[in-house]
Amino acid sequence: MSATAIELLPVPSSSIAEIPSLVAGLRTTFDSGRTRPLSWRRTQLEALLRFVKENGDALVAALQADLGKPELEAWAADIGQVTTEAKLALKNLKKWTRPESAGAVPLMGKSFIMREPLGVVLIIAPWNYPIGLLLSPLVGAIAAGNTVVLKPSEVTAHTSAILAERLPDYLDTDAIALVEGGVPETSALLEQRFDHIMYTGNGSVAKVIMEAAAKNLTPITLELGGKSPCIVDRTADLAVAARRIAWGKFMNAGQTCIAPDYILVEESIEEELIAELEKSVEEFYSGETQENPDYTRIVNSRHHERISQLMEGQEIAFGGATRAEDCYIEPTVLRNVSPDSPIMQSEIFGPVLPVLRVKDVDEAIGFVNQGEKPLALYLFSADASTEERVLSSTSSGGVTVNGTIMHLANAKMPFGGVGPSGMGAYHGKHSFETFSHRKSVLRRGFRFDIKMMYPPYTKRRTEMAKKML
């Protein structure tokens, strides 16, 4: 399917009136103990794998209809997240759920930590990777033994529709439910009491979710974003760096929460880096992105207009073409960008890459630290001391050195933000931990019962206790 074949659907919706009873039903299921056995968890995870395998082509078609995603990107960067997470959870489920010894306390007993499910959880997903960012967290919630409400984005209506239609055929619908819709449906969900809420999206909505969660003291995990910087120093292999930056930035038309948002490059190599970036884009798309099936579209006209306005008044090094009728924006690199310009004030979330000159890496570190902590940071350098300096002097959710995006691919590492870029983390065992409570247990026997612990607290007993402490 061509990248231009984007069609709009009406905003999908579920019955708002039925949401309270739906959540109540999930709580009844959880309270029954149905989701606690490992056999139930395995059955659901295996069913999720079957869902992806048997409906892969339909899921790709939905992603192409919503975003114009190339088939390879749809599988590798979106759908593939689910299979990776589910297989890892199935392999390690018994180990993850095994009680963890916390050692023995003299005269007190043995201690251990149990993982128990939290209860009913809500997962709210964004539109940029509408399958992976909905179903990957679901893996962790299932593995931990919870019941779940899934809320896909209404912006990617085709994907939401296919999930709502087919997912119930595979999963236990008494324990896992999907609610479609926009703000009204999400607001109705947030009026319910949940035991955990996970939201992936932007900071403004995150504040609304935090406020709603606070009413019930519901813990939350927030996967947000921010302006993820890319630092390039003079020791970097610029041809390789440019390819990796261009790939990370222009994949999904820049609509990736950890895409490089801007480049800080040592001034002596700025021109060469821009030239290599242009060469990389030329090679990737054979010099033509407007009708290229390997290049994604902007999700809707509102975002297209927003990104187009950010480009106004900027000096374009290459690219810059737009076409409103099919939400197309050409891969674009900007030069001589002022740090005070509108494009540097918020996450771009589109295929526009500002390049800013710095004298050296120390100036780049200072620039990064003046802003909010980003979700990701990228460094291109062949110098080990520079790498150490950047890693130890900056704070970000994650880092890839001499690459972009790829730290996300290791499911054994936690993925999450820090400060305004998010709170909490998931992926692999970290997803299981996010949706579990670590319950501390001390087991004592009846054989030893030390009377000095009990009143009356005589002087002698007090002195003995002081010596033991």
The residues carrying an active-site annotation are: 223, 257
**Bridge partner residues of 376 (DSSP):** 398
Rg (CA), the chain: 25
Distance CA 100, CA 112 (A): 5
Question: 3-state SS string over 138-165?
Answer: HHHHHHHCCEEEEECCCCCHHHHHHHHH
